[in-house]
Chains A and B, each alone.
Chain A
Amino acid sequence: MTAPVPALEVRDIGRRFGGVVALDHVSFKVGEGEVMGLIGPNGAGKSTLFEIVSGNLRPSAGRVVYFGSDCTTMPAHLRRRAGLCRTFQKLRLFESMTVADNIRVAASQCLTAGRDPRDEVGAILAQLRLEAQAERHPSELTLADRKRVEIGRAIAGHCRLLMLDESLSGLTHDEAEHLINEILALNRLRGITVVIVEHVLSVLAAMVKRLVVLHDARVVADGTPAEIAHDPVVIEAYLGTKRSVLR
């Protein structure tokens, strides 16, 4: 019996910026349908890894394999059309467009033949509770709604793997909780594999079953939230003490 093909496989990824090593032999796999967290302190290399996986940055070494296909040299827009989707740490919405048009841009590019982008936009607006905001511009929305719009744009059309870059930062506790539920619903209802980057472990622990920890450009731990919380290397990396990082 053959093993299932992982949704994403990062093989020995390295990236240097001049003399600075941003990523050093980073490897991990994400199974199809999984919700995985990627954490690490500031400067650990999370965002660089995101840029490499999404196609905005070429690695100095290593391969990115998406559902069994090597996509290391594939341009960002083709990865997106293949269903490899992302949001940004600093929101990047199309500010001159309405919420509906923001989503329509992606829906019109990434839908399979025969499907109407308008139906897809309507479905996403409904799923993310953005129907009332459809004709507003992003600048008129709350931060939580702006983040929803970016997620909506990311999943519009064809999405198999969603990478969320600190989508919960800046939100109140209630807003973060709502957004977490919506992300988990996307995983459950649309079967989307989710990789979430956060630098606060406690935020992720409640929503993922597996965490990968980056520190100083390397993967230092990979396991369940409970295992990670008590991993001495992770504790040292985060706090420099032996206290639990989940406190």
Chain B
Amino acid sequence: MDPPETRTRRRRASARSLLADRAGRRAFASFIGPVAIVAALPLLPFVNHYILAVTVRALIFIALGQAWNIVAGIGGLLSLGHGVFLGLGCYTTGFLFNDLGIPPWIGVWGGVLLSVGVALVMGGMTLRMRGVFFALATIAISLALDQLARHFVDLTGGDNGLALKFLGDSLWAAQSRSPVPFLYGSLVIVVIYYWITRWILMSRFGLEMQAVRDDEVAAAAAGVAVFRTKLLGLLASAAMTSIAATAYMQFYMAIDPEAAFGLAQAIQLQLPALIGGLGTALGPIIGGAVMIFLSEVTNWGGAKLGISGIDILVYGLMLLVVVLRAPKGIVGWLFRSPQGSKG
């Protein structure tokens, strides 16, 4: 075992040198293997359209979970209505494409701007308060946007939702009949989000976020600007969710109020990080993969038995098991140390 001085030096690696220390290289190695396997999937002979589509679904939910993990896992802000940013991203990209002919490569930034704007207003109103106000505010805004989306039928399609105009295989429109382009696109997002999470965890900003998560009063007494730190974490998470939402929209080609702002969706966004390990870089990736795999297996089994919606039951059971048996998630359970792991 390394002496304390060596371990101290290792942990002090700067944000610019994620690969410079042994821990960083080990984490990278444990991450790059699965990434290479996913990247090679389309080349394997036994992999069909269904497996690729499920993998894309998993990658998109992993990315959404990574975004939620920034604000809730590292920052400790329990956002129960993160579907707001998913919805804003999807609807904005869809509206800009269908009505104004703006491709999603540009439309995504419209969604990001809108999400960041809403996060700014939401954070400005609630983040100075302590306790559950922020969590309640996210639910309230989610419910409000759900109603707005149902009301403005011309803009959003109302209850029926908004479907993208399909142009066939088109790079300009980011559309394809095959799931392969979406697999690579969402894989790139997951890799970038993993890197962003690692960077935050190693950076001064990450240290501030974790201090605020642990104890706001003590953080302020240590010189941390608590409000600013929470707000920046929320803005980053909102922007990341909105970008992943564009991938969601391009893959599913449609969005409706329930899929965007519904309670079930809000819970699904939280599950990857909760199951995998809150506040870790690997957690949402492992959690999202396990979640989608189990969901598909149980849905397949449920279909054989003529039972629908069994995946929701499985999500609930998984959450229960994690909360009771492994509160630090799968990552915390795999790398059992007294205080868990930064993954």
Contact = CB atoms under 8 A, between A and B. Distances in A.
A94 B215 contact: yes
A93 interface: yes
Interface string A56-100: 100000000000000000011100110001101000111111101
A132 B223 contact: no
Interface stretch (B62-70, B202-210, B285-293): B202-210
B219 A56 contact: no
Contacts of A100: 8, 11
A88 B220 contact: no
Interface string B141-172: 00000000000000000000000000000000
Given A92-B215, A135-B8, A137-B338, A97 B221 contact: no
Name the prevailing secondary structure of the B interface residues.
helix
A235 interface: no
A85 B221 CA distance: 7
Contacts of B218: 88, 92-94, 153
A24 interface: no
A55 B204 CA distance: 24
A77 B11 contact: no
Contacts of A92: 215, 217-218, 221
B296 interface: no
A contact residues, range: 35 or more
Contacts of B340: 96
A116 to B, nearest CB: 10
Contacts of B214: 93-97
A219 interface: no
Contacts of A110: 222-223
Interface stretch (A101-109, A195-203, A209-217): A101-109
A193 interface: no
B11 A98 contact: yes
Interface residues of B, number: 27
B276 to A, nearest CB: 17
A80 B221 contact: yes
A77 B224 contact: yes
Nearest to B208: A105
A156 B222 CA distance: 8
Contact of B213 (A76, A96, A106, A134): A96
Given A132-B4, A134-B4, A88 B222 contact: no
B226 interface: yes
Interface string B310-343: 0000000000000000000000000000111000
A176 to B, nearest CB: 23
A80 B213 contact: no
A105 B224 contact: yes
Most-contacted residue by chain A among B210, B218, B224, B225 (CB, 10 A): B218
A93 B339 CA distance: 14
Given A88-B221, A106-B223, A96 B11 contact: no
A12 interface: no
A178 interface: no
Contacts of B207: 97, 101, 104-105, 108
Interface in A8-54: 54
Contacts of B215: 92-94
Given A75-B220, A80-B221, A140-B338, A105 B7 contact: no
A134 B220 CA distance: 22
Contacts of B224: 77, 105, 109
B223 A80 contact: yes
B49 interface: no
Interface string B187-217: 0000000000000000010011011011101
A157 interface: yes
A96 B223 CA distance: 18
A137 B8 contact: no
Nearest to A91: B218
The 5 A-B residue pairs with the shortest CB-CB distance in the complex, in nearest-first order = A109-B223, A92-B218, A106-B222, A94-B214, A76-B220
Given A94-B214, A97-B210, 18 more contacts: A75-B225, A77-B220, A80-B220, A88-B218, A88-B221, A92-B218, A92-B221, A94-B218, A94-B219, A96-B210, A97-B207, A97-B214, A108-B207, A131-B4, A134-B4, A135-B8, A140-B338, A156-B222
9 contacts: A94-B210, A94-B219, A98-B11, A100-B8, A101-B207, A105-B211, A118-B12, A132-B4, A135-B11
